[in-house]
């Protein structure tokens, strides 16, 4: 009788062990698949035309049903909107020879986040207008919810309440390495002088790549938090980025 009980106990333990192993294996497979989505290769597509030297990201398509097709279309459409902002009449003066056309607009990008849920792209557009003494560098962004295959804006990421401008003033200013002097105190002073109601309207219109985005506010995501870029006067560097960790963001929706 004791021998029979021992055999039954061993059998039960074996079944439990097998079930636990199956559960662990399923978890491992699920994690691996998620990682593959985040690691999907991104190509840098070049665009050279009419004095424009630019690039934009495109995922390598893995099959007919690959949702990255929709992500690529969103990124391409945003890139075209950026180009449209800088569409100008021909530059005055003699027509340049072949290969000697000056670069009027340079656009490059940085992938701020690419995981199984989101991809966040930050563009920097350097424009050398023939009518201005100095070039300008402005920021634009594209944020995509991969699960829904849709573009998301700041109001989709953070609940923009009347109190949010006050909260934003406590975000951390990202220090820039491309300036000879420390502009941070002047930047903070400039932003603090913007009225809350104006900032609120700017946040509500954020991430629109069009003239309606009056304060040039664009959001982006990082592995650690949310970033917001805001346009500045040229003497302050054209733009500044503020970031806050996810755990510290008030009204985080995603």
| Cα–Cα distance for residue pair 61/210, rounded to 1 Å | 29
Please report, for residues 80, 140, 190, the alpha-carbon distance to residue 240 in angstroms, rounded to integers and kept in the order given: 23, 12, 11
Q: Which domains does the chain have, with CATH numbers?
A: 40-86+99-152 (3.30.565.40), 153-254 (no CATH)
Average pLDDT over residues 104-113: 97
Half-sphere exposure of 128 (CA within 13 A, CB side): 11
Please report, for residues 17, 36, 109, 209, the alpha-carbon distance to residue 42 in angstroms, rounded to integers and kept in the order given: 41, 13, 12, 23
Average pLDDT over residues 228-252: 95
User: How sure is the predictor about 180, in pLDDT bands with cuts at 50, 70 and 90?
Assistant: low
Does 235 score more than 90 pLDDT? yes
Q: Across the chain, what does the average pLDDT equal?
A: 84
| 106: CB partners within 8 A, 6+ apart | 52, 53, 54, 125, 126
pLDDT by residue (tens digit) across 36-88?
A: 556 789 999 999 988 999 999 999 998 888 999 999 999 999 999 999 999 85
User: How sure is the predictor about 233, in pLDDT bands with cuts at 50, 70 and 90?
Assistant: very high
């Amino acid at each position: 009788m004791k021998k029979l009980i021992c055999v039954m106990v061993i059998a039960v333990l074996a079944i439990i062990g097998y079930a636990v192993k199956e559960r662990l294996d399923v978890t491992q497979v699920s994690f691996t698949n998620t990682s593959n989505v985040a690691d999907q290769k991104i190509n840098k597509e070049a665009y050279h035309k009419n004095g424009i030297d630019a690039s934009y990201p495109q995922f390598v398509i893995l099959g007919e049903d690959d949702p990255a097709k929709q992500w690529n279309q969103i990124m391409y459409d945003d890139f075209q909107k950026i180009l449209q902002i800088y569409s100008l009449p021909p530059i005055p003066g003699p027509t340049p020879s072949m290969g000697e056309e000056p670069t009027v607009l340079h656009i490059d990008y940085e992938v701020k986040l690419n995981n199984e849920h989101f991809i966040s792209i930050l563009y920097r557009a350097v424009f050398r207008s023939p009518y201005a003494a100095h070039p300008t560098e402005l920021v634009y962004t594209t944020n995509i919810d991969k699960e829904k295959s849709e573009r998301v804006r700041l109001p989709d990421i953070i609940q923009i309440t009347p109190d949010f401008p006050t909260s934003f003033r406590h975000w951390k200013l990202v220090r820039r390495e491309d300036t000879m002097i420390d502009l941070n105190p002047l930047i903070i002073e400039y932003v603090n002088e913007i009225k809350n109601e104006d900032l609120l309207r700017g946040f509500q219109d954020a991430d629109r790549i069009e003239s309606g985005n009056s304060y040039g506010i664009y959001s982006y995501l990082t592995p650690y938090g949310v970033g917001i870029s805001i346009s500045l006067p040229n003497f302050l560097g054209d733009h500044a980025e503020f970031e806050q960790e996810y755990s510290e963001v008030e009204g985080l929706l995603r």
